[in-house]
Amino acid sequence: MRTQPAVECSIQRTLDLIGDRWTLLILRDLFRGVRRFSRIQEDLGIAKNLLTDRLGTLVDADIVERVPYQDRPVRHEYRLTEKGRALSPALLALMRWGDQYVSGGLAPTELVHDDCGTRLELQPWCTTCNVPVVPTDISSRPGPGRHTGSEDIRV
Amino acid sequence: MRTQPAVECSIQRTLDLIGDRWTLLILRDLFRGVRRFSRIQEDLGIAKNLLTDRLGTLVDADIVERVPYQDRPVRHEYRLTEKGRALSPALLALMRWGDQYVSGGLAPTELVHDDCGTRLELQPWCTTCNVPVVPTDISSRPGPGRHTGSEDIRV
DNA sequence: CGAGTCGGTTGAAAATCACAACTGACTCAC
DNA sequence: GTGAGTCAGTTGTGATTTTCAACCGACTCG
């Protein structure tokens, strides 16, 4: 268990929720359309009791919802909520990093823009200048949710 | 330990490397400029033996490098390599998600574009159409690194 | 009726983690 | 030159988590 109190950082808060060894993998399966307990379990090789526990946590956090897909016997599947779907940029960023640095630049799966078929990149975007922004052009500042004098992040 | 063989997915490969409870938090500290063993240790509240282990893994994976910052006694600090710095979009995406859904829309820390001060968003970008792309406009296809018939990802 | 499926629960063994104590190389104050 | 302090760890032990296998209940299908 974490001994420190939660710091004023959304990365920490996020990882406290979904940052364990299995949760992001479960979410990836849900994005892929693998929504049933047994399918996820065999796809990931996760222990059943852990999958029960992790899905419960995700449902409690409103990232995933449990919806019945049949009666007699009633059985449920797990679907991403809007909050869960909002994690797609994070998953995509992890995937693109893995493509470049773990899979040797050869993506096992590419994501493409429906309209034109172009392979998608993921980068910070400035909505004012309407240009992509590289890490060296980024600064940080305290936001409206800042309560204490914690340090800034440089990316 | 994972019982399944690594599947053809860069998310899984990435999470096998950095997807444990502490590693992304350590990387966040390195992005923030917290680079010394004892500073990271007290900032995160991680056990020292675990921090030793995680930093070793990151150095082995060439995500972080161990560089001396003084002699007598020689001491080292940990710096992100280019491979490590390339994780910034993933950290940023997790941070933005946390801002919106865990910190109640109030970001403790905002990232801004140096040139204009606009708060940064992170979204998939189509370099051909020169427009941001929403999840519903994304498709997936097997990429050059695909070896087996694994399933596609929908984000 | 018997076998099979799905979505779990339970219990025990194995792995991992947290915490405290200790170490080595060195500095700095006295 | 002794004593306290710092930094970056290592080691040992007990607590927590994870894994693995077995079992269960509700139901369907043959």
* Count of C-beta atoms within a 10 Å radius of residue A5: 7
Domain annotation covers residue B47: yes
Domain annotation covers residue B21: yes
A108, B17, B62, B92 from B24: Cα distances, Å = 23, 10, 15, 11
Is the confidence at residue B153, as pLDDT, over 90?
A: no
pLDDT tens digits along B41-66: 999 999 999 999 999 999 999 999 99
Which range among A96-100, A146-150, B55-59, B112-116 has the greatest average pLDDT?
B55-59
Domain annotation covers residue B133: no
Contacts of A33 in chain B (CB under 8 A): 151, 154
Q: What is the CATH number of the domain that holds B44?
A: 1.10.10.10
Q: Give how far the C-alpha of residue A44 lies from the chain's centroid of Cα atoms, to the nearest Å.
A: 16
Is the confidence at residue A122, as pLDDT, over 50?
A: yes
pLDDT tens digits along A49-88: 999 999 999 999 999 999 999 988 999 999 999 999 999 8
Domain annotation covers residue A78: yes
Please give the residue range of the domain that contains residue A35: 1-86
pLDDT tens digits along B73-120: 999 999 999 999 999 889 989 998 999 999 887 888 777 888 898 887
- Alpha-carbon gap, residue A116 to B138, rounded angstroms: 10
Residues 12-71 of B with CB under 8 A from A: 12-15, 17, 19-21, 24-25, 28, 31-34, 44-45
pLDDT tens digits along A134-145: 766 777 777 787
**Number of folded domains in chain B?**
1
**What pLDDT, on the 0 to 100 scale, is given for residue A2?**
34
Query: Please, where are the H alpha helices in B9-87?
Result: 10-18, 23-31, 37-44, 48-60, 82-85
Domain annotation covers residue A104: no
Contacts of A9 in chain B (CB under 8 A): 28, 95, 98, 108-109
> What value does the mean pLDDT of chain A take?
85
- Alpha-carbon gap, residue A148 to A7, rounded angstroms: 9
Q: Residue range A39-57: average pLDDT?
A: 97
Domain annotation covers residue B10: yes
